[in-house]
Structure 1
Amino acid sequence: MKKVLYVPLDDRPVNLDDVVALGRTAGLEVYVPLADDIANQLDTRVYAEGTLVTGTSDPVYGKPERIRRFLQQHAARADGYVLAVDMLVYGGLIGSRRLRPAPGEHATRMNELDGEPDHHAAGWHPLPEEGEPGAIDIVAITAPEPIAAAMDRLATNGAAQQASIVLDFTGPTAHPDITAALLASPWTGRLLGYSAWNTAGNKIGIALGMGEARYAGLTVLHKPKELDAAMDAHGSLLFKRFLEDYYYKAVAIADIREFSRSRTPYTNVTADQQMRLFNTPADYDAAVALLRERMQAHTETLRNQPAFLGGERPACAIRRIRGVCWSLSVYDSAILPAANPGFPWGRAFEIDLAPRVALSPCPTE
């Protein structure tokens, strides 16, 4: 198994957990620095006068020196590197926003990264391009009206063994009508990528990243244990995207926001943007409990959709691609651990979902 050293921009799930999962879908072992060394947090201290917040302070940054030592210690074992310069130089996204009156040590860190010669490859691309055998079809949905045509396209692609990804561009969260149509189809379980999360750039990066990583695993892996692990990783990530992009971001988040805002002692803040500061510890814990209750219910609903386990028979996912032929795995189970999710940055905007989906080779294989 090839090994990759990964230094993320920060420790939000989209930059850390999801990227590690992408590596697993491709059969890669991803090494990351210690959690404390890459931790980023918005301000951790609040100042108030009565019911008015007068300020916040004390954000958390990553630790570049420790991360450099991590790279030095593990460099010889790695087959490749993916490094976020903001983390290596400034301690992450939050650290990069600090005022720097002079370059100082930051310039030194940048210069150290430039110590090796650059290598450029002309005409290289990791995936087949449009029209070539094995190309991934990108189904971009910009309004709910064309959903029938999009679903016909996914069915046609699936029957023809044409890999697909789907992007829901209708808004910052998944559209309910589009989500309902996707989850009603067993072909959705075969997607290599899907996203409806936040901005157009986020959606494109997430879905294309899923597609490229999974395609690599589908075409390179061949040992049964490697295929099983990559298959479960992809099934879990695809399930997570629907659980987060629709069931949390379009549904459950409203309950969290209402709860947080109704319980804050402060009158001049939006409490769910910093729940650890703007809610009491007891109310923060209650918000986490409410979140877990809601997401357990939504996990059951999602599990019972035809796209996964709720059809006349469970849906299938692509297990391996050999030439132009697919082999498949069937969805066996999908659970959300009781102690998950939480609010990694103490705000309602994102959660650290970690569903576990298991698949097995179809009996015909």
Structure 2
Amino acid sequence: MKQRILAALLACLLLSGCAQTPVYTAEEEVNGPAVAYVPLDDRPDNVERVQYLAWSLGYDLQMPQADDYRTRLQGQPLNENGTQYGDRADLYEWVLAQEEAGCDRYILSMDQLLSGGLVNSRSMWEHESVTLSDGTTLTEPERLSALLETLARDGNNQVWLLDSVMRLAPTVGYDHWDLDGYNALRAYGMAGRPVLEGEALTVEAIEADYRLGSDGSQLSLGEFGLEEWEVEEYLSARSRKLELAGQMMETVTGDGYGNFHVLIGIDDSSEEDSIQKNEIAYLCSLLRPGDALLSGVDDLAFKAVTRLYLDEQGWDGATATVRYYGGTEDQPACAYDYKPLQEIMAEHFDFFDLQESSDGELQILVLTQPLDEAAAQNYCNSLVMDLRQCQIQGQPVIVIDAGNGRYGTQFHEMLTEQTELGGLLSYAGFLDMAIVTGTALSHGVARYARLEAGKPSDAENRAFARTLADSILKDFCYKNIVRDKLLNYIRGDLGANPDNFWQPETNRNAIRQMLEREMEECTKPVIRNLESSNMAVVPHPAPTGDRIGWGSVLLGNYRFPWDRAFEIGMDIELGAFTAQHKGIYEMYTP
């Protein structure tokens, strides 16, 4: 009865197009081990896509109520706690309640628990005490210590702590920061600082060098168009965040914390000797075996869920063959990453226990930015031809689009017209390039490990299909086509701000209706491909077996997280799986 009611409710929401919160049918519910999860914020990469991934591995992901971890931009309605950020008291008590109830798996965003979310962590320049429901007031260091100590008392707990290196500038449209302030502070943050090493890497020494250039002289604020109060706020926020991260690392280094794992992401960086460099080196010096500091922040939960599963399965690792197309793998994937793409790949290989090999179990195909613009078509052709061959041979394939928009829509069109999208292990290309490697590898490795463990359940396969469809549809259809149309409509026709529909007050219903119309048209060829695709249910399927056919794919309940055009959320309803399709373009003809 429950499933029929939820299914009917979802159908109504899909028809009306007016719902504003995710609704999932009962078939996605799993009865496996519970994982208590405090997300970074309420964006899709930190909520529904983490749910999909956890469900696909048999985990029952438990989360606080959405208002407790929601971020509101400037001028938007406040949360129930009267702020623009998450409720740190509620979240602290929620985690303790999960422990009291017997939970023994945790994935916890420290940015959310300590600062109310990623965005607010960049703007909170003073330590702020929190008052709990019983009237107890705790300072931030007290609350951090109490939380970790409580979870450490149960030796059966497995705890993943997620944190981030503060990015080079705060968020546009939050607090009082605008684009000019962001650009000025990012330039200031990117300027070289004295490089500290060894015993000199202390919080105090790092903070003392915040205002110094690489030659040791004082940086001129006028050169960057900044005022003293702006820099003071910015540096105080950095200090607060670094001090709390240092306390966290020093705590888990003590006895009794062997079941704690730390994963730190680097947010909006550069290759320069920037203000982040000493912070990164300091945190790296405190990492224990099994901890990691990697590029990307919005993919942290993906990586933690996958690593939790791998450890519990006794994962022995896998070999992988990596092929690059585009010729710029020796450069950062974008201006906001801190190392060349090949090095970022290598760091993630270490984290997931992957060994590069010329004849690997996994095939990883990576499109980079084009070294030669005139050869862009050839780069795409080569990858697509290799992908087709891998799929014909039944090889599990991960595809990473690190082209940073340089190929327009041609690469996506070729994949849609010539390959079986639903047969991929994973795909990533949407949003920031700094997270595509971690997103694609975490999802691909997780699926491969799940297949190795035995045939997944129907619910696990549906969850996997959703995360793959979500990634492909948003990247192919929204990022490079629909979003551009929306930006022109919002700026031109509505005279509004695509980065915040509340400043000025905007007809949000009109924007959503246009999104629905454009997505309905743009997604048709991609959905046709998915509905004709087959999904492997074993690690290395034979050409005429070991696969199930995708059923129907229906999208609805479109929404704009944070009421801005940058990204979208949507519900994905799947029809029943079928017998194996003959295959797109007769790929599996005996």
TM range (shorter): 0.7 to 0.9
What is the alpha-carbon distance in structure 2 between the residues aligned to residue 187 and residue 264 of structure 1? 39
Q: 1:134 to 1:355 in 2, by over 3 A?
A: farther
Deviation per CA, 1:15-63: give whole Å up to 9, x if none. 11111111122222111111111111111259xxxxxxxxxxx861111
Q: Does 1:292 align with 2:516?
A: yes
Aligned to 1:53: none
Gaps of 5+ in 1: 47-57
What is the alpha-carbon distance in structure 2 between the residues aligned to residue 242 and residue 302 of structure 1? 8
SS of residue paired to 2:446: helix
What is the alpha-carbon distance in structure 2 between the residues aligned to residue 323 and residue 330 of structure 1? 13
AA aligned opposite 1:111? S
Aligned to 1:106: 140
Q: After the TM superposition, which parts of structure 1 deviate over 6 Å for at least 4 consecutive aligned residues?
A: 122-126, 322-326
Deviation per CA, 1:107-133: give whole Å up to 9, x if none. 222223442333266798664133499
Q: Does the 8 Å CA contact 2:75/2:503 hold for their aligned counterparts?
A: yes
Q: Does 1:30 align with 2:47?
A: no
What is the alpha-carbon distance in structure 1 between the residues aligned to residue 67 and residue 290 of structure 2? 39
AA aligned opposite 1:13? P
SS of residue paired to 1:349: coil
| Stretch of structure 1 that moved more, 324-333 or 350-359 | 324-333
SS of residue paired to 1:355: strand
Q: 1:299 to 1:316 in 2, by over 3 A?
A: same
What is the alpha-carbon distance in structure 2 between the residues aligned to residue 263 and residue 122 of structure 1? 52
Question: Rg: which structure is higher?
Answer: 2
CA-atom RMSD in angstroms: 2.9
AA aligned opposite 1:327? D
Q: Does the 8 Å CA contact 2:395/2:541 hold for their aligned counterparts?
A: no
The residue correspondences of 1:345-360 to structure 2 (distance < 5 A) are 345-358=562-575, 360=577
Deviation per CA, 1:145-172: give whole Å up to 9, x if none. 3222212322332233321111111114
Aligned to 1:49: none
What is the alpha-carbon distance in structure 2 between the residues aligned to residue 30 and residue 118 of structure 1? 23
Q: Does the 8 Å CA contact 2:39/2:108 hold for their aligned counterparts?
A: yes
Deviation per CA, 1:332-360: give whole Å up to 9, x if none. 111112xx211110100011122223452
| Stretch of structure 1 that moved more, 26-35 or 132-141 | 132-141
Q: Does the 8 Å CA contact 1:263/1:279 hold for their aligned counterparts?
A: no
TM-score, length basis structure 2: 0.52
Q: 1:133 to 1:68 in 2, by over 3 A?
A: farther
Q: Does the 8 Å CA contact 1:134/1:163 hold for their aligned counterparts?
A: no
Deviation per CA, 1:263-322: give whole Å up to 9, x if none. 556xxxx71111122233xx22111111111112223232123xx23xxxx221112338
Cα distance, 1:99 vs structure 2: 3.3
SS of residue paired to 1:272: coil
Identity of paired residues, percent?
24
AA aligned opposite 2:452? T
Aligned to 1:163: 396
Q: Does 1:250 align with 2:480?
A: yes
Aligned to 1:192: 425
Aligned to 2:48: 17
SS of residue paired to 2:560: coil
Give the aligned length.
336
| Stretch of structure 1 that moved more, 102-111 or 248-257 | 102-111
Aligned to 1:54: none
AA aligned opposite 1:139? L
| Stretch of structure 1 that moved more, 33-42 or 318-327 | 318-327
Q: Does 1:92 align with 2:117?
A: yes
Among 401, 405, 412, the alignment partner of 1:179 is 412
What is the alpha-carbon distance in structure 2 between the residues aligned to residue 353 and residue 98 of structure 1? 30
Aligned to 2:95: 71
TM-score, length basis structure 1: 0.82
What is the alpha-carbon distance in structure 1 between the residues aligned to residue 388 and residue 482 of structure 2? 30
Gaps of 5+ in 2: 1-31, 130-138, 153-255, 259-287, 292-310, 319-353, 371-375, 582-590
